[in-house]
Structure 1
Amino acid sequence: MSNWSVDYASLNGSLKVSNPVGFEASALQRLSKSEKSQRQIGSDREDQHQVAIKVKRAWDVAMAPAKSIPMNAIMIYMSGTGLQIFTVMVTAMLFFNPIKAIMQVQQTFSRFESTGAARYQPGADLLMVKLAFVGLHIVTICLGVYKVNAMGLLPNTASDWLAFIKPKEILEFAA
């Protein structure tokens, strides 16, 4: 036999293996009531901290549409009011993307929902976060409505609805 081999058949059953480094036998004992309450207080603090982090991340996701509003405003300004393919695509984007995001609001925020007892902690409710998310997307939809009106596609006069009324004649154009 070599120096590095062990013959397990020769070992007797009374061989005792020492505890690993860092192992405390007292950790296996049952906790007293005071120790349990102290650990529960510690876990409550951890739950509150986790809830606060989740709510902060949820607010970050809810405020993300606010960052795209100035970019969308510049896009509708730069695309002009004519009926070109680029203008129509930009205007369609102002409607479809926010509507799709509003329809998926529960899926978007499901990862931030607290479970168990943490659900009932103060500040764990995500209603205001979801309302802010939906409100910012509605602002983007309003930009789309403004663009459609500027392009002359929004029916807002009586002549747009009734065939016997003549459209308003514009007497002067500003260049």
Structure 2
Amino acid sequence: MKGIVEYLDQDAKNLRRAFLQSPIKFGRISSRYNLRRRIPLYGNRIRPHRGTDFAAPIGTPILSTADGTITEVSYTRANGRYVKVKHNNTYTTQYLHMQKANVKVGQSIEQGDVIGWVGMTGNTSGPHVCYRFWKHGREVDPFRQKLPEAKPINESLKKKYLNDIVLIKSQIDSVIIKNKTSI
């Protein structure tokens, strides 16, 4: 994977998750998924917000939160410039209000790839990316989902890793034992 480092435990179990928690490296959540949100701009009426807004400066890279295939790169008056990614038969994500997209329909992407940059296109009061998340075709709050783990490493690498970790663990243990006896 490009730019992704795998973190494995001593049994070669992948500690990375299948989805990143955020589509940007640094920013803050300015608006959470909320089906009863009131918006002053629309007369304080209840207007569901089916995404999580991450505020960030214009031009901040937007990352794909998981591996997948680009299914839409488009523009609408409300969503502005956006990208939609199908990750598998269960999960789809969408990234709204982009300044510019960096992908094309049909393109395969990996977790952490830059798919666009934060902007202020569509209905927005400040620069952010609205992150939308679908499970089985229904928009849901990604922070309330039990998300899958990352794919395990392949068997040939696992075998090598398990052999290598025995040596590394014994070296670490010997350093710890030496330090304990010298105290």
Shorter-chain TM-score range: under 0.3
Q: Normalised by the size of structure 2, how large is the TM-score?
A: 0.23
* Structure with the largest fraction of strand: 2
Point out the structure with the larger helix share: 1
Tell me the TM-score normalized by structure 1. Answer: 0.23
